[in-house]
Amino acid sequence: MNAQTPSAATLVGELSLGGGGPTVVVKDCIDVEGTVTGCGSRAFASQPPAARNADLVDALLEAGCRIIGKANMHEIAFGMTGVNGFTGTPVNPLCPDRIPGGSSSGSAVAVAEGLCDFAVGTDTGGSVRQPATCCGVIGIKPTYGRVSRKGLTPVHSSLDCPGILARDMDMLVRGMTAIDPTFVPEKLLHAPKLGRIKSEGVDAEVGDPLVYALMDAYPDMPYDILPSFEAAFDAGMVVMSHEMAQDFGPMLDQGAPFGLDIAARLRNARKITDAQRAEAEAVRTRFTAEVDALLERYDALVTPSLPTVPPTLAEAQDPQNVLSLTRFQRPFNLSGHPAITLPARSNAGLPIGLQIIGRKGEDAKLCAVARWITSCIPLFQSKDRNQ
């Protein structure tokens, strides 16, 4: 890919910070000293500039990276399409008529366009992994709490993780090493033991290529079940909405100019009761234990990244066409396990992907598993998806 002039809808601010290492863009909900943390929202556009860098920005600079811009995003990171009426919608380089994904839309597009070596996004319910799949790049959500959230908006979240998007595993690992000095790359000495999670509601256009590719490489890979998988998706929605209402509800009361869709989501989020939150936390405990138990038998678990190909921009105007996009991703925000998505193409050439989930704290091993898969399964090799 050749570097292009960044469009205003991809990067909302150009910077030149740091050394001569890899070029990086960071999502505009991450503080960079002296710049406004705009969060893709008119409500934040007139806020004072950040007084200091987010911890991960300091880590990037200390690692010698060069930060070249702030990436656009779905407003206040509260949406899955990446469509933004205030800052503009980044154009999906693979499929211009389809959503770029959200909420880390600009981060995914900047990587896919070749504007930077890697990008930093944030992932509360799939917000790194989903746009990565839509735009044909790799995305990782680390173990919850592994990478500092100090200097990120929203301030309070029991789900949100900073993550890396890149075009290949080498650069993704380099990005993880930069934002997390405790990350030590690993190599596998033998094929990983993988378990397929039985997933309902996957379109054949997505499921068939993934299943056949996995069967060719791992003919004996078993299916397994996470009994609380569906409940964890719903619980993740409850927890995220409850926490977003706590952070942004006071701004809504003060008349902050949120977009109509975001204002409506915040109003609905404020209706969540303490009893609903408590029930969601019980699901979190149960589901986390189920995932931990399954990972005692496997090196990693795999699911489709998305249940369908990304909807077109026109289709995405109907919420029913986007509500289930993160059904396989959001549960692992609830449980806190690291997850990575590898992009691929359907038989018709549309974006699809594989999600790989690892044990908590074993992010480097998860990356090693992903590298193994990209080395031995043609569907996930970059030469195939970029044609």
Please identify every residue annotated as catalytic.
27, 103, 127
170, HSE (Cβ side, Cα atoms, 13 Å): 5
Q: Helix or strand or coil: residue 303?
A: strand
Nearest to 61 by CA among 105, 101, 14, 24: 24
CA distances from 311 to 298, 316, 318 (A): 33, 6, 10
* CA distance linking residue 300 with residue 293, whole number of Å: 12
* Tokens linked to 126: 């799939």
Tokens 């003919």 belong to 219
Give 199's contacts (C-beta < 8 A, 6+ positions apart).
207, 229, 303, 304, 307, 328
* Beta-bridge partner residues of 120: 26, 164
Q: Does residue 157 contact residue 124 with C-beta atoms inside 8 Å?
A: yes
Cα–Cα distance measured from residue 343 to residue 353, given in angstroms and rounded to the nearest whole number: 4
CA distance 114 to 101: 17
- Asked if omega into 338 is within 30° of 0 (cis), the reply is no
Give the C-alpha separation, 72 to 13, whole Å.
9
Q: Strand 223-224 to strand 194-197: parallel, antiparallel, or no bridges (unpaired)?
A: parallel
Centroid of chain to Cα 21: 24
Distance CA 326, CA 366 (A): 20
CB atoms within 10 A of CB 22: 19
Distance CA 75, CA 123 (A): 14
Report d(CA 148, CA 96) in Å as an integer.
34
